Amino acid sequence: MKKNYLLFLVFTSFSAMHSQTIEEKIASKACECLQKKTNITRDIYIECLTSNMGELVLTDKDPKIRESINTVDGIQNMILRAESLVAKKCPDLVPPVVENKEDIFYGKSKNKNAQNSYTIGQDFMNQENYKMAVESFQLAIKEDPTFVLALDDMAVSYRQLNDYENAIKYYKKSLEIYPEGSFALMNIGVVYTFKSDYKTALSYYEKLIQYHPDNAEGYFGAGKSYFLLKDDEKALDNICIAHIIYTNEKSDYVKDSEKLLAGIYQKMKSENKEEVFKKIAAKNNIKID
C-alpha cells in the first residue's frame, strides 16, 4: 500500500511538471540557476534564463513549441513571457533596473529650441488643443530626435485625437530610444486595447512587468488583456498582484482592481470554477468573503 502511495506521488509530481507551460518550465529552471549565484548581474541573469531554454524547447512534445522559436520574434516573445514569470517566482533574484535611467531619458532636452517647443506643446495639451500640441512636439523632435518626453506626448496627443496609428508610431519611436520606458509601454498597451488587439497589448504589458516588476499597471493591463482573451485564470493571477500593489500603495486604482476581480469572479462562478477562483486568490493572499 505504501509503495502504491509513493508511486502515486511520483506520478502526480511528474504530471504537474509536465502540465507546466514551456515558459513556466524556463522560469523554474532560471530561478534554480539564480539561487546558486552570488552578485547577480544582468549578464548572469540572462545566462540563467536562456541556458536551459534550448533543451526544454527541443525536448517538448508539442511540435508547435519548437516551431515557435523559428523566428527572432518567437524567441524574443518566449523570453519575455518567461522573464515575467521569473519576476513573480523569484523576484529577489532579479537584478535591479539601472539607477537614474528614468532621470536620464525622462529629463529635459539639452537642445534649447527643442525644450522651448516642448514646453509650448505642453501648454497646448493643458488647453486640450491637441492639434497644435502635435505641431509643437514635431518641432521639438525635429530639433532633438531622441527627446523621449516629446515623443511620448506626441503619442498622447495623437491618441486624444483618436489617431491610434500615429500614437503607436510615436510610442514605438520612444521605445526604440528607451525600451524600458514605463510610460510608453503602459500607454501603447492601452492603445492596442482600444484597437481590440489584446494579444499585442499583452506583449507590451509583459514587457512592463519585466522591466518594472513593482509597477501595478503592468499586472493590471496584463490581467485585463487575459480576461478579454478569455484566459480567466491568468487574468485573475495578474489582477491579484495588481490589487495587492494598489492596496499597499493606498492607490485610488484599487477600486478598478476590485471591480475587475468581481467581474472575473462572476464569470468563473457561472462556469462552476468558483473553487479555482478561491484557490488562485488564496495563493496571492487575497481573502474572499
* CATH code (residue 169): 1.25.40.10
- Are 227 and 208 in contact by the 8 Å Cβ rule? The answer is no
Last residue of a domain, one of 71, 95, 119: 95
129 vs 21: CA distance, rounded Å: 48
The DSSP letter of residue 114 is: H
91 and 107: one domain? no
The answer for residues whose C-beta is within 8 angstroms of residue 239's C-beta and 6 or more apart is 219, 220, 223, 224, 227, 257, 260, 261, 264
> What pLDDT digit, counting tens, does each position of 216-273 carry?
999 999 999 999 999 999 999 999 999 999 998 899 999 999 999 999 999 999 999 9
Q: Give kind and range of the element (H or E) at residue 180.
A: none
Q: Is residue 288 situated within a structural domain?
A: no
Mean pLDDT over residues 201-217, rounded? 92
Residue 65 has what pLDDT? 78
Work out the pLDDT band at 6, boundaries 50, 70, 90.
Answer: very low
Residues 60 and 118 in one domain: no
Cell numbers at 79, concatenated: 523570453
**pLDDT tens sequence across 95-116:** 876 556 788 899 999 999 999 9
Residue 59 lies in a domain: yes
**Are residue 18 and residue 121 in the same domain, yes or no?**
no
Instruction: Answer whether residue 16 shows pLDDT above 50.
Output: no
- In this predicted structure, the answer to whether residue 71 has a pLDDT above a threshold of 80 is no
Task: Give yes or no: residues 218 and 76 share one domain.
Answer: no
Joined together, the cell numbers standing for residue 253 give 486604482
**pLDDT for residue 99:** 54
**Residues 22, 134 share a domain:** no
Query: Considering the entire predicted model, what is its pTM?
Result: 0.69
Residues 163, 265 within the same domain: yes
Is residue 70 pLDDT above 60, yes or no? no
C-alpha span between 49 and 28 (Å, rounded):
9
Q: Are residues 126 and 209 in the same domain?
A: yes
81 and 111 belong to one structural domain? no
Predicted confidence at residue 240, as pLDDT, reads 92
Higher pLDDT, 78 or 29: 29
Last residue of a domain, one of 95, 128, 151: 95
Other Cβ atoms closer than 10 A to 24:
15
pLDDT classification of 138: cutoffs 50, 70, 90? very high
pLDDT of 15 strictly over 80:
no
The values of phi and psi at residue 129, to 5°, are -100, 80
Where is the domain boundary, 37, 61, 95?
A: 95
Q: Is residue 38 part of a domain?
A: yes
Give the CA-trace dihedral at 8, 10, 14, 15, to 10 degrees. 10
* 3: pLDDT strictly greater than 80: no
Asked whether residue 225 falls in the same domain as residue 112, the answer is yes
Assigned domain for 125 exists:
yes
Indicate if 164 and 207 belong to the same structural domain: yes
CA distance 232 to 110: 47
Which residue would you say has higher pLDDT here, 115 or 73? 115
Distance CA(143)–CA(153), nearest Å, equals 16
Range of the domain at 259: 102-283
Residues 79 and 63 in one domain: yes
SS3 content of the chain, % helix, strand, coil (to 5): 75, 0, 25
Number of domains in the chain: 2
Average pLDDT over residues 38-53: 85
Examine the domain organization and report whether 209 and 193 are in the same domain: yes
